[in-house]
Amino acid sequence: MKTIQEIQSEIVEEFSVFSDWMDKYEYLIELGKNMPLIDEKDKTEGNLIRGCQSRVWLSCRNEDGRLHFAADSDAIITKGIISLLLKVYDGQTPGDILAANEDFIAQIGLKENLSPTRANGLVSMIQTIKGYAAAALETKKPMPDGDVEADIVAALRNVYDPEIPVNVYDLGLIYGIKGDETGKVSVTMTLTAPNCPIADEVVAQVREAVLDVPGVTDAAVELVFEPEWNTDMMSEEAKLELGML
């Protein structure tokens, strides 16, 4: 199987034959028509990617250590964008997905030719894909269902730090997620500062988000400050969002 880098290089080469961005959009549309489509039964709220202007559904299954994605969107360009990402990441290992960069996006000029809302959606798509990869790499007791942990990660991406416009997961505030066969989940997390005046509120939001995940029967959140949080714990997407890259 081709590596992520090899696939990205092929994409850059494919886009290089087009001099006009209208032609590139047409190519994206064609990609969208040929990507693995999500099953209709999986077009659920839980599979919606947050932060996208249009509705985008993404499902993931872990098969023999490789992640396989299916997606769909109700907007033709957005469907093309997610199909481009699936072309890169579908069938790859979680470790390779997390280690990969997205330089090819800049090389083909995609982000600069998107509206701000679509560009933000592109970042959200990448974050969600890498969230599935991060969840798959965690070594802990099995959750009651193979998709539950990925759903927990997706839910945590809807909880935001009160002072920074980035979700708690991509900020690196979630130190661990453990679950057992009964559906009980424990989350270890930190905050960007020990003296946060609404620490209890953030912890409560994290617990509520986890409890809302189907398959979770109970949730406990432990707040710790060792190791101390720093910006190195943030995801690449979070740093990009905050202009740190």
In the residue annotation, 52 being an active-site residue is answered as yes
Q: What is the mean pLDDT of residues 69-82?
A: 92
Q: Which residue has the higher pLDDT, 52 or 84?
A: 84
Which residue is catalytic, options 11, 31, 52, 219? 52
pLDDT at 145 over 60: no
pLDDT tens digits, 149-206: 888 989 999 998 877 888 999 999 999 888 887 788 999 999 988 888 888 899 999 9
pLDDT tens digits, 36-67: 889 998 898 888 987 777 899 999 999 888 99
Alpha helices, DSSP H only, in 17-160? 21-34, 76-89, 94-99, 103-107, 116-137, 148-156
- Half-sphere exposure (Cβ direction) of 87: Cα atoms closer than 13 Å: 24
Residue of 170, 141, 187, 184 whose CA lies nearest to 238: 170
Distance of CA 52 to CAs 32, 78, 121, Å? 16, 9, 4
State the Cα–Cα distance between residues 135 and 130, nearest whole angstrom. Answer: 8
pLDDT tens digits, 88-144: 999 999 999 999 988 899 899 887 888 888 888 888 899 899 988 888 876 444 444
pLDDT tens digits, 213-224: 888 889 999 999
pLDDT at 245 over 80: no
79 band by pLDDT with thresholds 50, 70 and 90: very high
Residue of 62, 229, 209, 60 whose CA lies nearest to 137: 62
Residue of 89, 86, 80, 87 whose CA lies nearest to 54: 80
147 band by pLDDT with thresholds 50, 70 and 90: low
- Domains of the chain with bracketed CATH: 4-137 (3.90.1010.10), 148-241 (3.30.300.130)
pLDDT for the residue 140? 42
Q: Tokens at residue 71, please?
A: 């997606």
pLDDT for the residue 141? 42
